[in-house]
Amino acid sequence: QSDIPETNVDVLIIGAGPAGLMAAASFAHLTAIPSASPLSVRIIDKRSTKIFSGQADGLQCRSLEIFDSLGFADRAWKEANHMIEICMWNPDATGIIQRSDRIPDTIVGLSRFQQIVLQQGRIERFFLDNIQKYSGGAIKVERAILPTSLQIGEERVKVTVRKLTEEEATPPQATTGSKSDATDGLFRSNLVGDDYEDKNITDAKGEEEEVINAKFVIGCDGARSWTRRTLGPEFELQGEATDFIWGVMDIIPLTDFPDIRMRCAIHSANDGSLMVIPRENRLVRLYIQLKEVTPDASGRADRSKITPELIFGAAQKILRPYKIDYEYCDWWTAYQIGQRISPSFSHPSNKVFLAGDAVHTHSPKAGQGMNVSMQDSFNLAWKVGLIAKGICHPRILDTYQSERRRVAQDLIEFDHKFSRLFSGRPAKDVMDAEGVSMAEFKDAFLKGNLFASGLSVDYGPSSLVVKSGDPGELGDRSDRSRNLEGVRRITVEEFEVKQSLAKGLPVGMRFNSFKVLNQACARPWHFQERLKADGRFRIVLFAGDILDQAQKQRVEVFCDKLSSSNGFMRRATPEGAKIDSVIEVLTIHSARRTETELLRDFPDILHPFDPHTGWDYNKVFVDDESYHEGFGDAYKNYGVDKEKGCVVAVRPDQYVGWIGELEDFEQLQEYFEGIFLV
């Protein structure tokens, strides 16, 4: 009989970097979903503090949309530097760098947000505040806690953890020797060996132990993930490293280079490449190719040779004839370019999952690491939460691997191509086969911009996404066919008919945003603002021209079925809970706002009545002109017929899951019956 204390929780998150914090925040937002007992979530990290400088800084459009659905995009938007234009600098005929091109940083019209840059530590701060606010203090990061063993049982996963001493929980850092007292990020870089960071833990004495019995464990513990290693060799990252070594410095520059406040991709004739990322607080991040450092026979570069002086010397050479110097350096590091991915993101038991750097690593220049990592756990957390609350069918967990591994694979391929084009020497002319064509580089940059925005993610068919095509895979495992359970079979022809009802809302992609007006108060909203990440599915009813009698009748028939006591909405909603507590119906109609009345023209289920708070005035919207913010032209932009409308089912993470006519109620019901424990 052991006297180690034991605790039961629904979810244990290991690691409080961007992926772990996104998971914790997503769970905190599920508090409004009814359940017999509140969701219990713990999040542990072996470090004594969050990070304060360095590491990731780029926030892509999709991440900002997600932050907005959690309620803190405004903080990031205000504090960050906004990336508006990219300048390409290449050598001219005499070998001197010159500006050769300008392109917009974010493709115009893609999202209501554009790419911004802000230090990772600030983003972690926003998450911590958001988690505190939405969980009412119930979820907080427990620091200086190290997991030491993990066993997957029938019911629960048993994780033993140990409290670390302050000394153990603070990583050793090399002295910088730089002009300023900059933080050195080398200790977390991929240039150090696997066990370097844990060296001081192995010898240390902290003894206090606890056993945490969790229904689900999510490993968000970074590139050297303990969780991944504990799950076994079949989870090991696979991929390759290159010989390209790059340095990173966050400095306040003193320079005559004209584009220092623009994002720049600079290829010098012979001294390597450099990327300029203008940052908040006068900082500029430089990514600098280090031609002087190459990996040894073991494949790893000697990191003792890498100093801020060496990195900065390389930058000065690349930027010649322009001059650059600095007095203040905030952070610096170096890394070796490589792309690696785990064959599996989830244990076959569907009780342990891996997210973020724990399952995919690549070079940071495309600014993807933090974004894709957060989007992994954003995809996973609502699924785990709704299952732990007994609301959804466990089969939806299979979609985590089939959806996110494909995204990671695309990222690895993109990074492979992009980083090689960036690190290559520019071709002198068309005959120079070893050099990189700058036209090809620009083309890759332009195509990469769509990918890098996070908005090209397109999930395959599954129990959550009704479309034709390849359902994705579960990795190289014997139970590969599991994710086919619950996949709605639909032919290419059937799918084309459904998709044609809303061409601007591709099934499997995130619900795009256009402005609509609240029917009750005329206030303009970006429609996506109404799709909060609170764990609820949504049915978006494009009601069409509600003033047309035939159309009004179609809407009424649809709503009667929705409200019926044996319909899926009632059956999916726990007894005693409000009708919109797990599936919310939002309406956009296309008649004139001033000629329609909320209570007269729209059935009750579209604006449910509560005896304490009255009618719900925030669910019916109109595609009409606003007084002050123009016309969103939502029906046209979503590609929906203004007379007849259509119905769209949206997942809690804003991805489109199903499209149909108002008469396709049975198919809609089938979709939800495959997801909910009705």
CA distance 418 to 76: 27
Amino acid letter, 432: D
Residue 199 or 428 with smaller CB distance to ligand FAD: 199
The gap between the terminal CA atoms of the chain, to the nearest Å, is 42
Among residues 10, 57, 250, 580, the one annotated as catalytic is 57
Q: Least distance from C-beta 31 to ligand FAD, angstroms?
A: 23
Give the nearer residue to ligand FAD in terms of CB position, either 171 or 608.
171
- Cβ count near 102 (within 10 Å): 11
How do 263-267 and 273-278 pair as beta strands?
Answer: antiparallel
Minimum CB separation from ligand FAD for residue 405, in Å? 15
* Closest approach of ligand FAD to the CB of residue 335, in Å: 6
Check 18, 308, 364, 426 and give the catalytic one: 364
- Determine the number of helices (DSSP H) and then strands (DSSP E) in the chain: 16, 28
Q: What residues have CB less than 8 Å from 198, skipping those under 6 apart?
A: none
* Other residues' Cβ atoms within 10 Å of the Cβ of residue 464: 29
Residue number with the shortest CB distance to ligand FAD? 17
CA distance 368 to 115: 11
Among 2, 109, 90, CA closest to 273: 90
CB 60 within 8 A of CB 118: no
What are the backbone angles phi and psi of residue 11, rounded to the nearest 5°?
Answer: -135, 135
Which residues have C-beta within 8 Å of that of residue 319, sequence separation ≥ 6?
A: 97, 255, 257, 266, 268, 274
In the annotation, is 3 catalytic? no
Q: Is 624 a catalytic residue?
A: no
Unique residue bearing structure tokens 């009632």: 570
CB of 139 to ligand FAD, least distance (A): 16
Of residues 332, 333, 410, the one with CA closest to residue 372: 410
Task: Catalytic residue, from 278, 285, 287, 538: name it.
Answer: 287
Which residue, 269 or 370, has its beta carbon nearer to ligand FAD? 370
Written as six digits, the tokens of 580 are 């919109």
- The phi-psi region of residue 222 (left if phi > 0; otherwise alpha if psi is between -120 and 50; otherwise beta) is left
Cβ count within 10 A of residue 180? 14
350: left (phi over 0), alpha (psi -120 to 50) or beta: left
Please confirm, yes or no, whether 279 is among the known catalytic residues: yes
CB of 7 to ligand FAD, least distance (A): 17
Tokens describing residue 392: 């959804």
Return the number of the residue (48 or 626) whose C-beta is nearest ligand FAD: 48
- 633 conformational bin, left if phi > 0, alpha if psi -120 to 50, beta if neither: left
Give the bridge partners for 117, in sequence order: 58, 81
> Hey, what are 74's tokens?
């405004």
Q: How far is the CB of 360 from ligand FAD (least distance, A)?
A: 9
Rank residues 370 and 659 by Cβ distance to ligand FAD and give the closer one.
370
Q: Could you tell me where the DSSP H helices lie in 473-540?
A: 492-499
Q: Select 82 or 578, whichever has its Cβ closest to ligand FAD.
A: 82
Smallest gap, in angstroms, from Cβ of residue 189 to ligand FAD?
4
Q: Give whichever of 217 and 559 is closer to ligand FAD, judged by the CB atom.
A: 217
| Number of C-beta neighbours around residue 323 at 10 A | 11
364 is catalytic: yes
* Residue 413 near residue 403, CB atoms below 8 Å: no
CB of 564 vs ligand FAD, minimal distance in Å: 45
CB of 20 to ligand FAD, least distance (A): 6
Closer residue to ligand FAD (CB): 356 or 460: 356
Min dist CB 302 to ligand FAD, Å, is: 17
- CB nearer to ligand FAD: pick between 368 and 587: 368
C-beta of 121 vs 506, nearer to ligand FAD: 121
CB of 375 to ligand FAD, least distance (A): 11
C-alpha 620/C-alpha 518 separation (Å) is 6
Q: For residues 542 and 647, give the distance between their C-alpha atoms in angstroms, rounded to a whole number.
A: 6
Least Å distance, CB 421 to ligand FAD, is: 18
In this complex, which beta carbon is closest to ligand FAD, that of residue 358 or of residue 408?
Answer: 358
Q: Measured between alpha carbons, how far is 630 from 649 in angstroms, rounded to an integer? A: 27
Is beta strand 620-622 parallel, antiparallel or unpaired with respect to 583-589?
A: parallel
Comparing CB distances to ligand FAD, the nearer of 415 and 616 is 415
Choose the catalytic residue: 42, 62, 279, 340.
Answer: 279
| CB atoms near residue 345 (< 10 Å) | 26
Joined together, the tokens standing for residue 46 give 């072996």
Residue indicated by tokens 């799918």 = 495
Residues at the site binding ligand FAD, with contacts judged by CB under 6 A: 14-20, 44-47, 55-58, 120, 146-147, 185, 188-189, 220-222, 226, 248, 333, 356-358, 364, 367-370, 373
Collect contacts of 661-668 with beta carbons under 8 A, ≥24 apart.
661/501, 662/541, 662/554, 662/555, 662/557, 662/558, 663/554, 663/557, 663/558, 665/558, 665/561, 665/562, 667/466, 668/539, 668/568
Helix (H) or strand (E) holding 257: none
Residue with tokens 């996949």: 487
Task: Enumerate residues 6+ apart whose C-beta is below 8 A from 317.
Answer: 268, 271, 272
Residues carrying an active site annotation = 57, 279, 287, 364
